Amino acid sequence: MIFVDYFIFPGIVFTMIVAFIVSWIDRKVTALLQWRVGPPLLQPVYDFLKLMKKETLIPKGGSVTVFLLSPVISFSALVLVSLILVKTNLNGMGFVGDLFVVIYLLLLPSFAVIMGGASSANPLASLGASREMKMVLSYELPFIMSVCTILIKTGGLIDIAGIIQYQQNNGVLIGSLSGFLAFFVTLLCFQSKMAQIPFDIPEAEQEIMGGTMIEYSGPPLGFFVASRWILMALLPYLAVILFMGGIGSYIGILKYILLVVVVILIKNTNPRLRINQTLRLFWGPVTLLAALSVVLAMMGL
Amino acid sequence: MSENKKITEIPIGPYHPLQEEPEFFRLKIDGEKVVGIEIEIGYNHRGIEKLSESKSFDQATFLVERICGICSTSHPFAYVNAVEDLAAIRIPERAKYIRTVVGEIERIHSHLLWLGLAGHFIGYNTVWMWCWKYREPLLELCERVFGNRNHYAMMKIGGVRRDISDDQGDLIRKDMGDLVPKLDMLYNAIQDDPVIKARLRIAGTLTKKDARAYCVVGPTARASGIEIDVRKDDPYAAYGLVDWNVVVREEGDVYAKTMVRIDEMKESVKIINQCVDRLKEVKGEIETEIKEIPEGEGIGRHEAPRGEVFHYVRSRGGSVPYRHKVRAPSFMNVFSNEVAVVGGTIPDAALTLAAVDPCYCCTERMQAVDTDSKVYTSRDLIRMCQEKTYELHRKMKGGK
């Protein structure tokens, strides 16, 4: 059973299929916004398979083990998150404190990117790694604060199944003022966790040529790319679970797709910010908003 | 301690997603801050000037048209101006208006191209695609009126090669009418978007003093508060006959450069509309016949989308130019980055380098040769090539 759980449903295969679909939605919506036609449905699959077939080049002077291991860490951490989230949402199977485990596991891809960039022995990659580090520093605080809002609202529930249950009984969290503020903050944090425009600063193709990814090729790059797609699929799902009561019916799926499209719209209607602007944004207004939502939650709003 | 701080070098180029052409900038950075830059160009030498000396005066018009793909009419425009200056040729009034229309349509599509790329460089791909979508009808218009999407071959010594009929004039007017709301939309979008502003403001500021010191031209100079425009300062073609304004802004940052270009597109629409109206009244020849080009020298200037392009032609009689010198606007503009980029951050640097709208294939007329090292003649190169081939043959035979 564990084999099926981890590898088929809701493990690697299922996660990858959802990631492919979300990636396709991303490309298609982007294309439509930009008056282009967009790729066919199977394009992400082709891309992934192509990368799997390519040669793996390892830079001289870098740390080979870390260089090759970091994509795998990133990928497997995300599959684990997907496993926990889907299992909890569908079967109500969870464990106390799984919310914290998810938050912890969601941090791993960022660290994997930093490790991979730092072990690439390339100035552009290390620049990207240092940018990613600053990004993690900037968005984690408001994100944790908005999670605190949920904890206060639900009366100290720290398991995901409990949070979903609470919302089924008392209405979705996004409906309250503090919940909405926390949702907004979370959306911004997720946008930067996904490394999407306006926060795709660690990769910034036009500035540092892909930054942390610059030395990657073949399957390691494939796993990093797949991690990006899975993040894009998972984080809106987590937001749906935390603030909109999870996916229980067709309406849940609709909410999810709507949120994915919102992410894509933000991505396509903004330029990339500078790293200092991002830091200022997250530590200034966004943290204040998150603090406000915590205060409002304590007042019971 | 601070003197020993290690300075990292970030290469932009020779092949980089930022710019399509080969160029090389070494950014010296401290953290994210740029503390120095070295500009190396010269990857794209094609020997146009030498080629021009082997072409007849008429053929050279087509040759210089191939210098650049985007401002493909600017170089022939300046070249015919130079030859007409040399031979003291007066062109018919109708030809003047037609030349102006070609030049201005080119300016609009070149600026739209730049605006799109600027969007791409700040990661705003939607702006990129939209600008290029708006550019498409203009290219189609060029094809319908001038016969080609680019490389129109409209310029000819003594006039133009094709006439613009009244129907085609209506077509141009209609397309210009369609373009104006789109330009207004872009203008308002960039002016109102706080994120774009946050990104473009202050980035890569070129002060008026530096702009003068580096002799920048075109929109780069006009965004730094220097009011220069060959079309106004030394009117040629029909620029002295129509009513239009030179757009100047004082700030000198990338935002100012963007706004100057958008405003210039609007001015171009104004010029084109007036020219097309005048074309319906002014009838007659579109070219004067040239028998021969006398001895002498002439200069021609044209305000290309990127700034003043300058051509010098010297004739010793006969059918070919004796010397033909080309100076493209990017030659002046690119080096102003030495001051504009330093002090900013890497994202700003990437944007600033692109903000002068550099065109390296226009610029690169010469190649620096290090005289201390050995100079290889063509005979040497052939000999080296043969030796290498023999060696390879030997190796292959030995391998068997």
For A99, B2, B372, the CA distances from A178, given in Å and listed in that order, are 19, 47, 73
Residue B396 lies in a domain: yes
Q: Average pLDDT of B54-67?
A: 89
Residues for chain A: how many in total?
301
Across-strand partners of B307?
B304
**Over 70: is that where the pLDDT of A38 sits?**
yes
Same domain, B294 and B392: no
CATH code (residue B107): 1.10.645.10
The SS3 of residue B311 is: strand
> For the whole model, what pTM was predicted?
0.85
DSSP string, B38-75: EEE--S----HHHHHTTS-HHHHHHHHHTT-SSSTTHH
B346 contacts A208? CB cut-off 8 A: yes
Per-residue pLDDT tens digits for A117-131? 888 888 888 888 888
Asked whether residue B171 falls in the same domain as residue B193, the answer is: yes
Residues B197 and B252 in one domain: yes
Stretch among A122-126, A203-207, A294-298, B178-182 having the lowest mean pLDDT: A203-207
pLDDT band at B1 (very low <50, low <70, confident <90, very high): very low
**Cis ω before A198 (30° cut-off from 0):** yes
Q: Is B302 helix (H, G, I), strand (E, B) or coil?
A: strand
pLDDT of residue B327: 87
Residue B123 pLDDT > 90: no
B232 and B117 within one domain: yes
Please write the tens of the pLDDT for every residue from A71-107: 999 999 998 898 888 888 887 777 888 888 999 999 9
**Nearest residue on chain A to B189, judged by CA atoms?**
A269
Please indicate, yes or no, if residue B250 is contained in any of the structural domains. Answer: yes
- What count of other Cβ atoms lies within 10 Å of the Cβ of residue B91? 23
Asked if the structure places residue B332 within a domain, the reply is yes
- Co-location of B139 and B233 in the same domain: yes
* Residue B384 sits in the same domain as residue B283: no
Block residue for tokens 């609007």: B266
- Write down the residue that tokens 């602007």 correspond to: A277
Domain containing A172 equals 2-55+62-298
Does the residue B200 lie in any domain?
Answer: yes
Indicate the residue of A36, A272, A276 with minimum beta-carbon distance to B129.
Answer: A36
Is this complex's ipTM strictly greater than 0.85? no
Assigned domain for B349 exists = no
> Cβ of A265 under 8 Å from any chain B Cβ?
no
Is the domain of B179 the same as that of B90? yes
Into how many domains does chain A fold? 1
The closest CB to that of B18, out of A34, A206, A272, belongs to: A206
Whether B376 and B286 map to the same domain: the answer is: no
Distance from CA of A209 to the nearest CA of B (A): 7
Write down the H helix ranges in B306-377: 329-333, 337-340, 346-355, 360-363
Q: Partners of B313 in the beta sheet?
A: B298, B324
Q: How far from A118 is each of A62, A114, A206, B56, B265, CA to CA, in Å?
A: 8, 6, 20, 59, 46
Residues B397 and B263 in one domain: no
Alpha-carbon Rg of chain B, whole angstroms?
Answer: 23
Chain A residues whose CB is inside 8 A of the B34 CB are: none
pLDDT at res. B2? 45
Output the pLDDT for position A22.
92
Contact A269 B122 (CB under 8 A): no
Q: Is residue B144 part of a domain?
A: yes
Counting the structural domains of chain B, the total is: 2
Of A131, A115, A143, whose CA–CA distance to A278 is shortest? Answer: A131
* Bridge partner list, B29: B8, B34
Same domain, B274 and B227: yes
- Among B9, B126, B133, the residue with its CB nearest the CB of A268 is B126
The whole-number average pLDDT for the span B122-148 is 89
Residue pLDDT, tens place only, B284-310: 888 888 888 889 899 999 998 988 999
CB within 8 Å: B18 and A207: yes
The reply to whether B17 touches chain A by the CB within 8 Å rule is yes
State which residue of chain A sits closest to B31, comparing Cα positions.
A127
The span from the CA of A269 to the CA of A31, in Å, is: 13
Secondary structure letter of residue A282 according to DSSP: I
Q: Which token pair is A184?
A: 């907004």
Report the alpha-carbon distance of residue A173 to residue A163 in Å, rounded: 9
With residue B143 as reference, give the H or E element that holds it: helix B125-146
Are A271 and B199 in contact (CB < 8 Å)? yes
Q: Is the Cβ–Cβ distance between B68 and B151 less than 8 Å?
A: no
Q: What is the mean pLDDT of residues B228-248?
A: 89
Question: Who wins on pLDDT, B361 or B72?
Answer: B72
pLDDT at B399: 59
What are the pLDDT digits (tens) for B67-115?
A: 888 888 899 999 999 999 998 888 998 999 999 999 999 999 999 999 9
The Cα–Cα gap between B23 and B20 comes to: 9
Q: Are B359 and B380 in the same domain?
A: no
Minimal-distance CA residue of chain A relative to B199:
A273
Is the same domain home to B382 and B329? no
The rounded distance, in Å, linking the Cα atoms of A208 and A203 is 7
Mean pLDDT, chain A, integer? 87
Q: Which structural domain range is residue B146 located in?
A: 48-340+354-363
Residue B152 above 90 pLDDT?
no
Question: Chain B residues with CB inside 8 Å of A123's CB?
Answer: 8-10
User: When comparing pLDDT for B359 and B209, which is higher?
Assistant: B209
B182 class by beta-carbon count within 10 Å (0-12 exposed, 13-18 middle, 19+ buried): middle
Tell me whether residue B14 is in a domain: no
Q: Does residue B3 surpass a pLDDT of 60? A: no
The C-alpha of B14 sits at a distance from chain A's nearest C-alpha, in angstroms, of 13
The upper half-sphere exposure of residue A68, i.e. CA atoms within 13 Å in the direction of its Cβ, equals: 8
CA A155 to chain centre: 26
**Chain B interface, mutation test: which of A206, A268, A277, most B Cβ atoms within 10 Å?**
A206
| Residue A263, phi then psi, degrees to nearest 5 | -60, -45
